[in-house]
Amino acid sequence: MTLPLIDPVLTLVLCWAGALVFLHGAFAKWREREIFAAALQNYELIPEVTVPTASTALILAETVVGLMLLVPAASPLGQVAGIGLLLLVTAAIAINLLRGRTEISCGCGGNDQQISWGLVARNLGFAALLGVAALPHVAREWLWLDYAMAAFGGFTLAGLYAVASQLLGNHPRLVALRDA
């Protein structure tokens, strides 16, 4: 079975959107390293003594993935690494949800969002988009409009990701208002 060929602009849109998402999350975590380390510790998946090192390694990995997605020569590795990182954190969320631990912060960076199945779906959807970016693309000449469309599409997709994150973060508050 041959894989479908996609337009290279779509690959660039998905890579640039991924770069924005990963770098935004990493930047927020670098600013609030102690808060992120506390969130990671609350997952109770690794020994407490390893939390400072693991939290720094995760932030560094997120930063490197974001930067790799910006560089065309490194983007294939960034796509695979990004999928792996998303699957790792999504597994951590799912394990805690299955344990019945829904009241812990996701540690996503920049917000105080609780873990939920919505986050699992968001992350799996984002990983799938990076998978689409990894598909072979048509070889063709690039025009200036291709770069403009890629920038517009990348920012739009990253914005939609941010909106989805905000909606997921607001959901528990809306439920609490409704139940009050």
Average pLDDT over residues 79-92: 96
Consecutive H or E run containing 132: helix 117-133
Q: Which domain holds residue 102?
A: 8-179
80 in a domain, yes or no?
A: yes
Question: pLDDT tens digit string along 16-72?
Answer: 999 999 999 999 999 999 999 999 999 999 999 999 999 999 999 999 999 999 998
Q: pTM here? A: 0.85
How many other β-carbons are positioned within 10 Å of the β-carbon of residue 162? 15
70 in a domain, yes or no?
A: yes
- Considering Cα of 158, then 162, then 168, then 171, what sign does the dihedral take? negative
3 in a domain, yes or no?
A: no
1 in a domain, yes or no?
A: no
Q: Look at the chain and report how many structural domains it folds into.
A: 1
Question: pLDDT tens digit string along 91-130?
Answer: 999 999 999 998 888 888 666 788 889 889 989 999 999 9
